[in-house]
Amino acid sequence: MEVYESVSSALQNAVSQVASRIAEYLPNLLGALGLLLLGWLVAWLLRGLAVKAMHILELLLHRLSRGQVARTIPSGSVEIVAGILFWVVILFFAAAATHVLGLGAFSSWLQSLVTYLPTLMAAALIIIVGVLLAGLARDLTVAALPTFPEHQRVLLGPGVPDRARVAE
């Protein structure tokens, strides 16, 4: 009987310690869960705003084309940009949630990833601006080519992509 009482008291102590630790950790867990839900809501709203903004940009490009062949934003790129924005916002909130939970190693890894994102976005912006400027240079070159003599068009031809070359 004495063995039963000692095992019973040891189990009661273990259960009470687990319950007290859960009670201590529960506010952190609820706070992290709240942050993740808030992050999902903010990411969902920003994703919708990004899709709307890109559709407005497409409409603006169509209206500015004035009878020329209208350039449109490929529908796949709208979803890609919106998806990237969604997951970047989720990543920011996940980093905050891991900090609230006290997960030091994971939190520092996510924080270093989050601090790297502006560099990545700047690189993407530089690439996009480069592509847009290359398209502008191609359009200007193509617009100027019909007025040039044959030998000058041949010299400028390799600098312009094949699909944009003026037929000789």
How far is Cα 38 from Cα 34, in angstroms, rounded to an integer? 6
Chain centroid, CA 130 distance in Å: 20
How far is Cα 21 from Cα 18, in angstroms, rounded to an integer? 5
| Token representation of residue 87 | 């997951």
How far is Cα 102 from Cα 96, in angstroms, rounded to an integer? 10
Angle between helices 104-144 and 75-101 (to 10 degrees): 160
For residue 36, CA distances in Å to 43, 82, 88, 126 come to 10, 19, 13, 31
- Please check whether residue 54 is in contact with residue 76, taking contact to mean a CB–CB distance below 8 angstroms: no
pLDDT digits (tens, 9 = 90+) for 6-59: 888 888 888 888 888 888 888 989 999 999 999 999 999 999 999 999 888 888
pLDDT at 49: 95
What's the pTM value of the predicted model, to 2 decimals?
0.63
Task: Tell me the average pLDDT across 73-100.
Answer: 86
pLDDT at 137: 75
69 has pLDDT over 70: no
